[in-house]
Structure 1
């Protein structure tokens, strides 16, 4: 299960740059534990253009992800991986200012995680709160779930299932009930 970070696992914040700014979505522990107990890998894939924009550095991002792991551990949840894209074509930090294959909606982070963790993309789900997340999942060949109130975005037609729900809890409940 590929999971977006901001707005999906954590409450939405505009360019969070400090660990204290990461606050888990309410009632997130139970559905994530259920997925973990069902044998699913839990992998965060997150665009972090704040690096390219100079709003944070890699040490701050590492500290934020350490906090995310600690917050989830309090709920008995362990992440199998965290993949972050630091790039943005309009960034102010030269080494991160570029087009890349990892920034969602491109599927690069999902492909890399699948390779590193030996995951089957066709048996995986991408869960997020934006069209970038859903399109990255479709491009990688996963099923997708949109969390939040926006309508499902237009995506390339195909055989991949897509669903939408207000919360991650509801997405996971429906997912596990339908397995």
Structure 2
């Protein structure tokens, strides 16, 4: 029997790393305070941890999927050095006004659509009712709600501290 586990869904830019606008290069990447600790703590609890990130900069021609994958590999290396990992990175490179034709379309994967979260729940044995997302934009919150998971709006500070507060609030809400 497959054991269902809760999942922490994390937006990338503005939650895991400082959002400098279309971050695609390792030299522009800077972790948010407490981000690595947040991932490690939830993984130690037995949770899945997923990144769900819109990457319209790909559709806009600012960088390529390969650039993004190199950045995610860099993140994975740094998390491994911290003794932890992201279970999977999901991205939505689509944008209806994109410059790159193959990415110029509407997609349910692009937040506020729930596609990336739904795909993670199809790929892994996620307990939806015990899962939540931390994002920094209203579209993140809408995507989580559309996918049937909890959601918290992160406005900066220490992500590990915020995630502990979010977990406590979420569990209180489940009991209430």
- TM-score bracket for this pair, using the shorter chain length: 0.7 to 0.9
SS in structure 2 opposite 1:42?
strand
Q: Is the 8 A contact 1:24 1:71 kept in 2?
A: no
Q: List gaps (5 residues or longer) in structure 1.
A: 150-165
Take 2:107 and 2:56, find their aligned partners in 1: how far apart are those partners?
12
Structure-to-structure mapping, 1:18-29, within 5 angstroms: 18-29=25-36
1:37 correspondence with 2:44: yes
The aligned residue for residue 170 of structure 1 is: 161
Which segments of 5 or more consecutive residues in structure 2 lack a partner in the other structure?
1-7, 172-176
CA distance in 2, matches of 1:176, 1:146: 13
> Which structure dedicates a bigger proportion of its chain to helix?
2
**How big is the alpha-carbon RMSD for the aligned residues of Structure 1 and Structure 2?**
1.5
Distance 2:148 2:94 in 1: 23
Q: How many residues align?
A: 163
Return the alpha-carbon distance in structure 1 between the equivalents of residues 34 and 108 of structure 2: 33
Residue 146 of structure 2 is matched in structure 1 by 139
Contact kept, 8 Å, 2:33 with 2:159, in 1: the verdict is: no
Name the CA distance, whole Å, in 2 between partners of 1:11 and 1:72.
Answer: 16
1:31 Cα deviation from its structure 2 partner = 2.4
Please state whether the residue corresponding to 2:58 is helix, strand or coil. coil
**Contact 1:148/1:167 (8 A) holds in 2:** no
- For CA contacts below 8 A with separation 6 or more, give which structure has more relative contact order: 2
Give the SS at the match of 2:57: coil
Find the counterpart in structure 1 of residue 102 from structure 2: 95
Shift of 1:177: 4.4
Instruction: Report the TM-score when normalising by structure 1.
Output: 0.85
TM-score by length of 2: 0.87
